[in-house]
Amino acid sequence: MKNILKKITLLSGAAILSYSCDSVDFGNVNDNPNGPTAAVTSQLLTQAEKTISSIGTNMTGILYTQQITEGQYPGESRYSTLTYSYNDYYVGPIQNLNEIIKLNTDEATMDEAGNYGDNGNQVAVAKLIRAYILQFMTDRWGGLPWSEAFQGIDSPQPKFDTQEELYNTMFAEVEEALDLIDLDANGPDGDILFSGSMDRWVIFANSLKMTLAIRISHVNPTLAKSKFEEVIASGNYIDSNADNIEFPYTSDDASDSPWHDRFKTREDYIVAETMVEALRSNLDPRLFKYAEPARDSVYANPAFPGGIDAAYVGAPDGKVNGNVPDYSFPPAIIIYDDNTYPTPIFTAAQMKLTMAEAALNGWNTGSDAATLFEEGIAASMDYWGVDAADIDDYLASHTTVDIDAIAYEKWIALYMNGPEAWAEWRRLDAPALTPSEFAADPRIPVRHAYSATVESANEENYNAIIAIQGTDDLHTKLWWDIH
């Protein structure tokens, strides 16, 4: 009886306390007088844009495509990570972008949000970044919660949209953004990528649109051709290195290059033997730009005149390469000398080679495949500082223009852009790469498996997407990867 009375007393007290709290107005006692009381879109945008850098410098694709490998601690080079979580993208940058869109479209908040740039331009930029992040995500995992996501307790277990549905969503996002952009209005504050230049955001939008189009060219060539040719007809695309889209950095520790940070106290990454030998065997002058001379060894069989390539030594992929000075490091200007060295996001080399492939497909590109192929190679070499005479020599000895040649040159040109290199290698199945002999499962991954928590938290929808796209492992091909 005493215990019952005690519980009744406690419940009564709690009820009174709850009622009291509900009925008392504490005014602004909990407001921070030194900070904003509502979300500031410029700050949300800055934080979201930083994800573009983290995607551009993501290591997984670089290691899978054997551009770079690891030193004494190989893991990713051996495909040892079996599951990956996408949660950070959902709760971080995508939520920021969703909030920007909400604040700029809600009549109650759009006037305040307009203090940080034209409402339509802010929404356009948010949609473009959201589509960019989504492509990176779906090209890793395949199907994802999207159309029913971001609804909180109203939809705690959202269905997975298929990758085909997600690509349609991304095309729609890009089109909506292009329609919203007003070149005569103010761009968004907090834009660390283009400082609010909406002309540059149009180029970003069309670069993304071209990339989306070529990615689905094997599974939906009609849609791919239509979207690609829309970009060509607009005339607003990357035509030279002057148009390249790069992520800029500043010299402070919070905003400097991730590559520079990786080499501050450690030397974990070295240029892979696969990349070095491909460049050497083709007498490709990019060898001397992509790598530094090894400090403690030389290559026994140099190929360039005068043996000038002897100091460039690639590391076996996935091996415990404990003595890293025996091998070539990535360019010193990126990893040591300049902590503000920008990260390429979309480049003329990538776009010209993509256009060359489109021309082979019979799409309207405004030029022929051979010309675009040459322009793509030249743009890549010029970007890395290769002398004009060396560019001409290379082009003179590489005149075959077919899909394998384009795939190879794209792999070379996408050096240090792992996500795109991995995606295009999977789509084109070229160049031929030999899986690491040191891997427990000697197959290069073609997707990432979902985190184990996905199945336990959303079992019904998890099972539904697996039934559509296949076994949840590293080796089930994505929707667009049919070759």
pLDDT band at 83 (very low <50, low <70, confident <90, very high): very high
Q: Which two tokens stand for residue 33?
A: 């007088």
102 against 20, higher pLDDT = 102
Q: Which residue has the higher pLDDT, 209 or 152?
A: 209
Q: How much is the pLDDT for 2? A: 41
* Domain ranges in the chain with CATH number 1.25.40.390: 86-237+453-469, 258-428
Mean pLDDT of 41-68: 98
pLDDT at 483 over 90: no
> 86-237+453-469: which CATH topology?
1.25.40
Q: What is the pLDDT of residues 420-441, one digit of tens each?
A: 999 999 999 999 999 999 999 9
CA distance 146 to 4: 49
Q: Does the pLDDT at position 11 exceed 50?
A: no
Which among 190, 198, 191 has a CA at the least distance from the CA of 40? 190
Q: What is the pLDDT of residue 25?
A: 52
**Which amino acid, 69?**
T
Angstrom distance (rounded) from CA 80 to CA 46: 33
Q: What is the mean pLDDT of residues 2-23?
A: 40
**pTM of the predicted model, to two decimals?**
0.92
Q: Kindly report which listed range (9-18, 36-45, 383-392, 419-428) carries the lowest average pLDDT score.
A: 9-18
Tokens of 167: 């690509």
Question: Residue 34: its pLDDT value, please?
Answer: 54
Distances 6 to 9, 11, 75, 257, 363 between C-alpha atoms, Å: 5, 9, 58, 61, 80
Could you give the CA distance from residue 186 to residue 116 in angstroms, rounded to a whole number? Answer: 9
* CATH number 2.40.30.10 is the correct assignment for the domain at 258-428: no
What pLDDT, on the 0 to 100 scale, is given for residue 15? 38
Indicate the residue type of 457.
A
φ, ψ dihedrals at 184, nearest 5°:
-95, -5
What would the pLDDT profile of 345-372 be if each residue is shown by its tens digit? 999 999 999 999 999 999 999 999 999 9
Mean pLDDT of 466-483: 97
Determine the pLDDT at residue 36: 55
CA dist 93 and 288 (Å) reads 37
Distance CA 49, CA 249 (A): 12
Residue 107 neighbours by CB distance under 10 Å: 6
